Amino acid sequence: MIILPTTYAEWHHCITVTCKIALTKAYLHQRLQALRDPSDRMTARFRELYGAAHLERVIGWFEQAAADLTEWWAGLPPM
């Protein structure tokens, strides 16, 4: 049985802790580009398995992670 995350916090934990994936700018950009492409084979499979609503939630979580990263960088003092 697969348990899907239902909140940003659950998704973030799953990606960064369980899967040990760093949410870098490059990774976030690559995943958002693929997830927003309806012709992407893996995106189509994701939609088929988990539904359009969950795909939209995941895209939102990737967008939130990108915004959080941008905010974090903006808060650093200039070098």
Summarised one tens digit per residue, pLDDT across range 14-53 is 999 999 999 999 999 999 999 999 999 999 999 999 999 9
Residue 29: CB partners within 8 Å, gap ≥ 6?
Answer: 66
**pLDDT at residue 45, as a whole number:** 97
**pLDDT at residue 69, as a whole number:** 85
DSSP annotation of 77: P
Residue 23: CB partners within 8 Å, gap ≥ 6?
Answer: 12, 15, 16, 65, 69
The torsion of the CA quartet 46, 52, 57, 63, rounded to 10 degrees, works out to 70
